Amino acid sequence: MVIKLVLRVRAFRTECRSLSGAASARRLLMPARETEAIILKTFPLGEADRLVSFLGRSSGRVRGVAAGARRLKNRYGSTLEVLSHVQLWYVEKETRELVRIQQAELLESFHKAQSDYGLSTGLAVISEVSELVLPEHEVSEPMFRLILLSTREIERTGDWALPLSYFAFWTVRLGGWLPRFDRCSSCAAPFGAQPVFFGAHQSGLFCEKCRYPGMKALHFEARELAERFTGERLDRIAFEPAMRSSAKELREASLTWIEHHIERRLATRELLETA
């Protein structure tokens, strides 16, 4: 009787061991996932690795580790530069929040923008805003296309003025944070061609009568540019020097609304003034 019991306990233990063995084998053998992705940001991790935040077309925003990416000779090359458009292979681990990045291949190079100080400032703003507004693991095809289009246009035109304005405006629009552009958020008076006002502590647009002290003006031309942004693709809008101040006003208003909604200041925003 006693012997039988011992045998049963042994059998049970063996079963448990083989079960947990199977589970860990499954963890090790989890198949690699593949996604088209945009590199949002990377941070040094330990001596040799990099922590990478990326927006996968099929995975949403994910964080992972690129092992050995800080070594002089590494298998990632220039694929982990900010806003690089890549094909990524990674492995998810059941128990960890970070995925392991196995391989990255460059689909499209933005080398000119990434290596120029002035242009890279524009990329840094796109990177910071995307990182802050995109929820983790949520697929966002419109934001994926917006980031890609804006980055591509900075690279192609060698100027971030219009692309960044378009990016900020559409981020506000996609976030559902855009106020009405035709009437006052406070008194509902129609705007007409008069300048209207925006500020850091309100999410709306205000008429001359309702404006708060310290608010900045958004002129009629900037609102017309917003209408063009709504109906035309960025790469089909020809940038003329006369549009520069409208693009700036619209960018400033949009970044202000983004800051209002994420409830924090963008660290990269002031770099724009000096770039």
Determine if 207 is a binding residue for Zn ion (CB under 5 A).
yes
What distance in Å separates the CA atoms of residue 42 and residue 63, rounded to the nearest whole number?
9
Cα distances from 104 to residues 71, 146, 170, 191, in angstroms, run 16, 22, 28, 50
The candidate with the shortest Cα–Cα distance to 139, out of 33, 56, 73, 38, is: 56
Residues written for the chain: 275
Single out the residue of 52, 69, 148, 210 in contact with Zn ion (rule: CB under 5 A): 210
Which of residues 210 and 255 has its CB atom nearest to Zn ion in the complex?
210
User: What's the closest the beta carbon of residue 220 comes to Zn ion, in angstroms?
Assistant: 16
| 259 in Cβ contact with 200 (< 8 Å) | yes
CB of 211 to Zn ion, least distance (A): 8
Between 30 and 187, CB nearer to Zn ion: 187
State which residue, 4 or 201, has the beta carbon closest to Zn ion: 201
Q: How many CB atoms lie within 10 A of CB 21?
A: 10
CB of 210 to Zn ion, least distance (A): 3
Contact 239, 85 (CB under 8 A): no
Residue 73 to residues 52, 87, 97: CA-CA distances in angstroms?
18, 20, 27
- The count of residues interacting with Zn ion (CB under 5 A) is 6
Q: Is 101 in the site for Zn ion (CB under 5 A)?
A: no
**Looking at residue 219, what DSSP letter applies?**
-
Q: At closest approach, how far in Å is the CB of 185 from Zn ion?
A: 7
Longest pairwise C-alpha distance within the chain:
97
Looking at the Cβ atoms of 144 and 197, the one nearer to Zn ion is 197
The interface mask with Zn ion, positions 162-201, x = CB under 5 A, is ----------------------x-xx-x------------
> Closer CB to Zn ion, residue 86 or residue 207?
207
Which residue's CB is nearer to Zn ion, number 4 or number 209?
Answer: 209
Interface residue list for Zn ion (CB under 5 A): 184, 186-187, 189, 207, 210
